[in-house]
Amino acid sequence: MSPKTLKIDKLPTIRRLPSYLQILRDLSAKGEEFVSSAYLADQMQIEAILVRKDLELTGINGVPRVGFRTNDLVSAIEKFLGWGRALDTCLVGAGQLGAALLGHRELNNFGIRIVAAFDNNPAKIGTSLHGVTVFPFSRLNELLKRLTILLAIVCVPPDVAQSVVDQLVQGGVRAIWIFTSANITVPEHVIFQREDLLSGLAVLSACLTRKGPVDTSA
């Protein structure tokens, strides 16, 4: 599969995989050995044929008239997403949003291990947030190399977002997950995901204003 195909054609499927994984983990904890595509479709509120197409991406096959082996499907999704191993991560920007992400236990469940946080606020530097030490931003490059961090989560104001991203790229970070409304550019070799909270708010506001759902599939 080419990078372009993975990014564009399969993106909706990839975004659904964590939801499948949560459902499957709950079933596994209850001792359920098999799960049907019809059950997953009902839980996800989508068509069963879409579930089967989604799960084809993981390379796992179901058992005719029985369904999928729950634990095998969990392992297949984790392997596809790269969540079967811990990924050392840093957080830049330990404000309210950054602190909330540090306390988000589900990130650990999905293999994201935040090992260091960075901020310029003297009141935060040297403190520990949810067990993660906050370092001064001036030590970013030094610690990126020492800790071999490949993924960075960025929660900084829009006016400094690009400069922070540039420094992360220079420090060898290969993937960046940033929460900002700013337009950011990165080199082609860097994996980049931008979450714009204002865009999500715009959808909700449009739904309220129009008193009905907004089609977000496009």
Supply the Cα-derived Rg of the chain in whole angstroms: 20
Which residues contact residue 49 at a Cβ distance below 8 angstroms, ignoring those fewer than 6 apart?
none
Looking at residue 4, its pLDDT comes to 41
Q: Name the pLDDT band for 3 (thresholds 50, 70, 90).
A: very low
Average pLDDT over residues 91-109: 89
Q: At 109, which amino acid appears?
A: N
Distance between CA atoms of 84 and 129, rounded to whole angstroms? 25
Q: Write the pLDDT tens digit of every residue in 198-215.
A: 887 888 888 888 766 555
The rounded mean pLDDT for the chain is 88
Average pLDDT over residues 46-69: 89
Looking at residue 162, its pLDDT comes to 97
Distance between CA atoms of 14 and 5, rounded to whole angstroms? 12
Looking at residue 209, its pLDDT comes to 85
Q: Name the pLDDT band for 156 (thresholds 50, 70, 90).
A: very high
Q: What is the CATH number of domain 3-80?
A: 1.10.10.10
- In total, the chain counts a number of residues equal to 218
Burial class for 146, CB neighbours closer than 10 Å (0-12, 13-18, 19+) = exposed
Looking at residue 215, its pLDDT comes to 55
Looking at residue 32, its pLDDT comes to 95
CATH 1.10.10.10 intervals, the chain? 3-80
Contact 87, 150 (CB under 8 A): yes
Q: Which pair of tokens denotes residue 191?
A: 């994996």
Q: Which of 109, 88, 147, 143 is nearest to 26 (CA)?
A: 109
CATH 3.40.50.720 intervals, the chain? 87-199
Which CATH superfamily includes the segment(s) 87-199? NAD(P)-binding Rossmann-like Domain (3.40.50.720)
Contact 96, 121 (CB under 8 A): no
Residues 9-37 as b/e (b if ≥16 CB within 10 A, e otherwise) read eeeebeebbeebbebbbebeeeeeebbbb
